[in-house]
Amino acid sequence: MRMEFRFSNLWRGALVVLTVVLLAAPTWAVTSKITRQSSSKELLEGETEQVVISSRGTIQLGRAAKVLADEFEDVWSVNSIVVSGGTVYVGTSPNGSVYKYRLGALTKIYPTEGGADADGLARASSDASEAKDADEEEGELIDDDELFSNEHIFAMAVDVAERLIVGISGDKCRLCRYETGKMETIFEPDDAKYIFAIETDNVGNMYLGTGPEGKIYVLDPSGRVAQLVYDSPDKNILSLVAGQDGYVYAGSDTRGLVYKINPRNKSATVLYDSEEPEISALLFAGGAPSQAGNLYAAATSAKVVQTERKFAAGQTVSGRPESKASGDKKSAESEGGLRLKIANAKKEGGKKSSSRSEPVKRGAKPGTASFIYRITKQGYVTEVFSEPVVLFGLTEQGGDILVGSGNAAQLFAIDPDAERQTIVYEDEQAAQITAVRAVGPDVYIGAANPAKLIQLSSDYASEGTYISDLIDAGQPARWGKLQIDADIPRGCKVMVASRSGNVKDVNDPTFSDWTEAVEIIEPIQLRCPLGRFCQYKLVLRTEDGNKSPVIRAVAVASTIPNLAPKVSSVDVSRVGNGSKQGLFKIDFKATDANKDTLVYKVDFRKIGRQNWIELKDELTDDDYEWDGKTVEDGRYEVRITANDERSNSVATRLTGSRISDPIVVDNTGPVIRKYALEKSGKAATLKLQITDELTVIGKLEYTINSNAEWKSTLPDDLVFDTTDESFTIVTEDLDPGEHVIALRIRDDVGNTTYKTFELSVLGK
Q: pLDDT > 90: what percent of the chain?
A: 66
- The pLDDT tens digits for 750-761 are 899 999 999 998
Helix (H, G, I), strand (E, B), or coil: what is residue 15?
A: helix
**Span 183-205, mean pLDDT?**
94
Order of strands across the sheet with 226-231?
194-200, 206-211, 215-219, 226-231
Asked whether the whole model's pTM tops 0.75, one would answer no
Measured distance CA(234)–CA(261) in Å, rounded: 14
Q: Note whether 9-62+463-561 and 566-665 share their fold.
A: no
Measured distance CA(150)–CA(166) in Å, rounded: 16
Query: One-letter amino acid identity for 376?
Result: T
Helix (H, G, I), strand (E, B), or coil: what is residue 322?
A: coil
- The pLDDT tens digits for 733-754 are 999 999 999 999 999 888 999 9
Q: Exposed, middle or buried by CB within 10 Å (0-12, 13-18, 19+), for 585?
A: middle
| Alpha helix (H) residue ranges in 393-433 | none
In Å, what is the CA distance from 321 to each residue of 534, 573, 666? 36, 60, 72
Measured distance CA(345)–CA(483) in Å, rounded: 12
Residue 19 has pLDDT above 70, yes or no: no
> What residues have CB less than 8 Å from 161, skipping those under 6 apart?
none
Quote the pLDDT of residue 744: 96
CATH classification of 9-62+463-561, choosing from 2.60.120, 1.10.10, 1.25.40, 1.10.3470?
A: 2.60.120
**Of residues 555, 406, 347, the one with CA closest to residue 77:** 406
Under the banding of pLDDT at 50, 70 and 90, the label for residue 30 is low
Q: Exposed, middle or buried by CB within 10 Å (0-12, 13-18, 19+), for 674?
A: exposed
CA atoms within 13 A on the CB side of 7: 14
Quote the pLDDT of residue 649: 87
- The pLDDT tens digits for 527-572 are 999 999 999 999 999 998 899 999 999 999 999 888 899 999 999 9
- Comparing 49-53, 289-293, 568-572, which segment has the lowest mean pLDDT? 289-293
Residue 323 has pLDDT above 90, yes or no: no
Phi, psi for 470 (deg, rounded to 5)? -65, 135
CB atoms within 10 A of CB 309: 12
566-665 belongs to CATH 2.60.40.10: yes
DSSP letter for each residue of 689-740: EEE-SSS-EEEEEEEETT-S--EEE--TTS---SSEEEEEEEPPP--SEEEE
State yes or no: cis peptide before 407, omega within 30 of 0.
Answer: yes
Quote the pLDDT of residue 335: 57
H helix or E strand, kind and range, residue 249: strand 248-252
- Give the mean pLDDT of the chain: 84
- Comparing 413-427, 585-599, 660-674, which segment has the lowest mean pLDDT? 413-427
| Residue 260 or residue 172, greater confidence | 260
Phi, psi for 15 (deg, rounded to 5)? -65, -40
Under the banding of pLDDT at 50, 70 and 90, the label for residue 291 is low
Domain boundaries, the chain: 9-62+463-561, 566-665, 671-761
In Å, what is the CA distance from 383 to each residue of 295, 355, 360? 12, 12, 8
> What residues have CB less than 8 Å from 307, skipping those under 6 apart?
388
671-761 belongs to CATH 1.10.3720.10: no
Under the banding of pLDDT at 50, 70 and 90, the label for residue 391 is very high
Contact predicate 223/187, CB 8 Å = yes
Under the banding of pLDDT at 50, 70 and 90, the label for residue 338 is confident
In Å, what is the CA distance from 406 to each residue of 96, 306, 433, 446, 755? 21, 8, 6, 12, 89
Q: pLDDT > 70: what percent of the chain?
A: 82
Measured distance CA(373)–CA(298) in Å, rounded: 7
Contact predicate 406/392, CB 8 Å = yes
